[in-house]
Chain A
Amino acid sequence: MEIRRTVEEINEKIERGDAVVVTAEEMTEIVKSKGVHVAAREVDVVTTGTFGAMCSSGVFINFGHTDPPIKMDRVTLNGVEAYHGNAAVDVYLGATKMHPEKMFEYGGGHVIEDLVSGREIEVVASGFQTDCYPRKSVRTTITIDDLNQAILCNPRNGYQRYNAASNGRDELIYTYMGKLLPNYGNATFSGSGELNPLTNDPDYETIGVGTRIFLGGGIGYVTGPGTQHDPVNGFGTLMVQGDLKRMSPRFLRGGSFTNYGTTLYVGLGIPIPVLNEGIAEKTGISDEEIKTNLLDYGVPRRSRPILKQTDYAELKSGKIVFRDRSIHVSSLSSLKMAREVASTLKRWIEEGTFLLTNPQERLPLQGTMKPMKVVEETLFARHIMAPAVTCHPDEDLDTIAARIIEEKVNHVVVVTPEKKLRGIITSFDITKAVALKEKDLSKVMTHQVITASPDEPIESCAKKMQKHDISALPVTDIDGIVIGIVTSERISRLFGEYR
């Protein structure tokens, strides 16, 4: 006989204390060992959980009014600027806003952690003086208990799955996917795989507007689809909110990504009522079935090259095989904490303190995730590169010096007859060679050359040159063939012409 039950029936069981609740990891095992039918008959609720860096997080705060009252204009909390474009004493503090001096070490996410921990926060506000709000500034110290409201409000949480990241560049990079070692030296990923909320309800049959959830150790609600909700491609998201005053610092943690920014780690858990066998089957999903792509974050473009398809089982194993090499891979989110979220929610339901809800409206099965419309032309290395003046590794320095004069350049790229990059020599290197009476090209040229790819944005080329204190980047294609050169002179000329 087919199993069917309603949320109301499940809630009655929860109140009686005899609902059967399992975590999504446990459900995967049950479906595997006993089959979908038995799993559907035995289990009433599956709890999910995730604990990751959720950059879209923030908190709406109402401070209450001072006397005389102030219409806040600029507001900082522990030095971190909050957005004030609302009513007189309402602000929104975003997780990624960095402290102007402490930068990655302290930002909005950390202020939220400090608030929820009950620590004192210094508030400094300047006012826009009006007849009804005469006060021009206020400086005070508050804790979360002094606030009228503190509402965690996250426009995009709970990504269904996420890309994994590695780095094909020959230099270390710092990204929002963490510290990525050169030449695919490591890889990172995000998300809890088979524990993830939306992955267990991929058709949004039970999760919708109004669904009661575990949020930051307290109670929250799904208020709608999140921004960039893209269910067709398996990247659904949720917008959620909840009362920060009832949350816990165990499940809300400020985060720092070096050279990138700050964020907030959020614990999010959603109960899935097993209404029928179809839902039981979907909650039985295993890590092997959840596919995602390993992308090259060394390419600073919107579309990053796919290095390989992988799945959460491989990602969670700690090693990923790429180009016959086994590289270390780790999560940036915490699987251990995700398990704690799912098991805490399970306990709440078993204890009868958390009841399930019917969604008021289903999440859309279609979404919009398109690039930003940009009307200005965007320039890449291939647009501004010049033909490279080259020489061969066996040419003598006098010939190269003559070519520098003749071609009026400062850089000569050393290439093989097949145009493969071997080095670079500058007019300064030649001067140095003359001073030191050195005749051998290979002793004065640079062998480890910093290069650009043709599709690299010019901002990224400029940053590379500044970082390495150099003034030109040979442009090479995927096979290492030199196809041009980007110089700082060309970039400055470009900006000179614009302004």
Chain B
Amino acid sequence: MKVHLSFDRERTTKPIISTIILSTGVQINILRAKVDEAGGEVLVEIPDAEAEMVMDAFRSMGVKVHVGRHVEILRERCIDCGHCITICPVEAIYAESDLTVKLNQEKCVDCGACIDSCPTRAIRVMQ
């Protein structure tokens, strides 16, 4: 499952993810990471079976954990122009044979690059 991790400023320089990978032995896949003045945001993928245990480990080290935040296309606003398809860096957005634009949640890394490209503002981050 995909899990968003928020690190505050003090924790951005600490090797928290590698510590947890070593201590739990779980293969955590880093999909996206960003650091700025507010701290760090990392999107990771954790095998479902170990997810709860790994999330507890992050929480115990002071990392905020969010599950369920994801990018979504609002069907009632989308006009199926397809502009977002050209923007997506991981090819998660595609057009079906009838030209309906769809988002593959499995591939999406929630980077949000598509959001400001949408002329009808049909792409949102859902909590």
Contacts and interface: CB of A to CB of B under 8 A. Distances in A.
Interface string B103-127: 0000000000000111111000000
Q: Is the interface of A mostly helix, strand, loop or mixed?
A: strand
A51 B79 contact: yes
A255 interface: yes
Given A258-B116, A258-B117, A337 B85 contact: no
A334 interface: yes
B82 interface: yes
Given A318-B95, A336-B98, A336-B100, A105 B121 contact: yes
A215 B118 CA distance: 23
Contacts of A258: 116-117
Contact of A265 (B84, B98, B116, B120): B120
Given A265-B119, A265-B120, A328 B86 contact: yes
A287 to B, nearest CB: 14
B99 interface: yes
A194 to B, nearest CB: 15
A332 interface: yes
B119 A186 contact: no
A469 B28 CA distance: 38
A329 interface: yes
Contacts of B83: 178-179, 188, 330-332
A253 B81 contact: no
Interface residues of A, number: 31
A339 B100 CA distance: 12
Select the residue from B81, B87, B100 with max chain A CB neighbours within 10 A.
B81
B112 to A, nearest CB: 12
Contacts of A257: 119
Select the residue from B80, B87, B100 with max chain A CB neighbours within 10 A.
B87
B95 to A, nearest CB: 7
A329 B86 CA distance: 6
Contacts, number: 69
Interface residues of B, number: 19
A247 interface: no
B79 A178 contact: no
A237 interface: no
Select the residue from A253, A255, A256, A330 with max chain B CB neighbours within 10 A.
A330
Interface string A28-60: 000000000000000000000001010000000
A256 B119 contact: yes
B43 to A, nearest CB: 21
B79 to A, nearest CB: 4
A224 to B, nearest CB: 28
B79 A331 contact: no
Contacts of A255: 119-120
A334 B80 contact: yes
Contacts of A188: 83, 86
A256 B81 contact: no
A335 B83 CA distance: 12
A253 B79 CA distance: 9
A196 B80 CA distance: 17
A1 B88 CA distance: 55
A256 B120 contact: yes
A364 B117 CA distance: 37
Select the residue from B79, B82, B86, B120 with max chain A CB neighbours within 10 A.
B86
B99 A336 contact: yes
A229 to B, nearest CB: 25
Nearest to A257: B119
Contacts of B98: 336
Contact of B80 (A181, A318, A327, A337): A337
A331 B83 CA distance: 6
B73 to A, nearest CB: 13
Contacts of B82: 318, 330-331, 334
A51 B100 CA distance: 15
B38 to A, nearest CB: 20
A70 interface: no
Contact of A179 (B87, B95, B99, B120): B87
- Enumerate the 4 nearest inter-chain pairs by beta-carbon distance, A residue then B residue, closest first: A186-B86, A330-B82, A328-B86, A336-B99
Interface of B: 79-87, 95, 98-100, 116-121
27 contacts: A51-B79, A53-B119, A105-B121, A174-B116, A178-B119, A181-B86, A187-B86, A253-B79, A254-B120, A255-B119, A255-B120, A256-B119, A256-B120, A256-B121, A265-B79, A318-B82, A318-B85, A327-B86, A328-B86, A329-B86, A330-B84, A332-B119, A333-B81, A334-B82, A336-B79, A336-B100, A337-B79
